[in-house]
């Protein structure tokens, strides 16, 4: 499968991560059905990465406060217990590492498809991310969530495992040379991202402000 012929926006401002994404113009669309599907997936990745990068740039290094003022017409949530707050604070640094790794892998896929980096560069990112996801699973498994957060705890672990499955799928391309593993990996990483975004909005509301 060719890696050229897909148009992407110029660069990703504010990331400082790797080369810029350049626009590639071709007078015809030379891709087949599978190529078109892969191009659509990469464009979806670009949108997801743009969101993640914007959030990373605007988020400060310290953990956001888990309690914020809410609109007057929204019923207030029950106050967090000390056990809730302790768990959320312990999860925050792990959450940050997972998000940064997911963004780096997504950027790596885009740079690879636009010929900005080669397979070796992409593999380095995926290997590093997989190691981060495995560490995160161990660290989260060691946490003791209060009963009120037990379900959320399991959901976060499920998201981490989806990221691991996605990374392992991408790594298959380095064995058989097929870029179609990027297509197969995308839904797994997207589902994992959706899960941690939902949890992040619940725990750190100023991390994901309302649109």
Alpha-carbon Rg for the chain, nearest whole angstrom, is 19
Query: 102-117: per-residue pLDDT in tens?
Result: 999 999 999 999 999 9
Per the structure, the count of domains in the chain is: 1
User: pLDDT: is 64 or 134 the higher one?
Assistant: 134
Closest CA to 54 of 20, 9, 99: 99
Chain segment 40-94, per-residue pLDDT in tens: 555 555 555 444 444 444 443 445 545 444 555 666 777 889 999 999 999 999 9
Q: Is residue 210 part of a domain?
A: no
Beta carbons of 91 and 64 less than 8 angstroms apart: no
How much of the chain exceeds pLDDT 70, in percent? 62
* Other Cβ atoms within 10 Å of 50 Cβ, number: 16
The residue segments making up the domain with residue 126 are 33-63+79-203
CA distance 50 to 122: 19
Whether 130 is in a domain gets the answer yes
Residue 205 binned pLDDT confidence (cut-offs 50, 70, 90): confident
pLDDT at residue 198 in the model: 95
Contact 110, 21 (CB under 8 A): yes
Neighbouring C-beta atoms of residue 208, cutoff 10 Å: 17
Is there a domain that residue 43 lies in?
A: yes
């Amino acid at each position: 499968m060719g890696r050229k012929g897909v148009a992407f926006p110029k660069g990703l401002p504010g990331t400082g991560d790797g080369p810029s994404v350049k626009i590639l113009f071709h007078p015809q669309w030379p891709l087949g059905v599978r190529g078109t599907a892969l191009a659509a997936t990469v464009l979806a990745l670009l949108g997801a990465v743009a969101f993640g990068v914007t959030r990373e740039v605007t988020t400060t290094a310290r953990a956001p406060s888990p309690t914020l003022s809410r609109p007057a017409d929204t019923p207030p949530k029950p106050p967090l217990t000390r056990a809730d707050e302790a768990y959320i604070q312990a999860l925050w640094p792990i959450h940050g590492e997972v998000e940064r790794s997911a963004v780096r892998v997504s950027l790596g896929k885009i740079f690879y498809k636009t010929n900005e980096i080669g397979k070796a560069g992409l593999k380095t990112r995926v290997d590093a991310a997989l190691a981060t996801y495995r560490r995160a699973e161990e660290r989260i498994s060691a946490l003791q969530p209060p009963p009120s957060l037990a379900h959320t705890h399991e959901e976060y672990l499920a998201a981490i495992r989806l990221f691991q499955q996605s990374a392992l799928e991408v790594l298959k391309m380095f064995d058989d040379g097929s870029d179609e593993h990027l297509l197969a990996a995308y839904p797994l990483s997207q589902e994992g991202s959706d899960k941690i975004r939902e949890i992040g909005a619940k725990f750190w509301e100023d991390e994901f402000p309302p649109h």
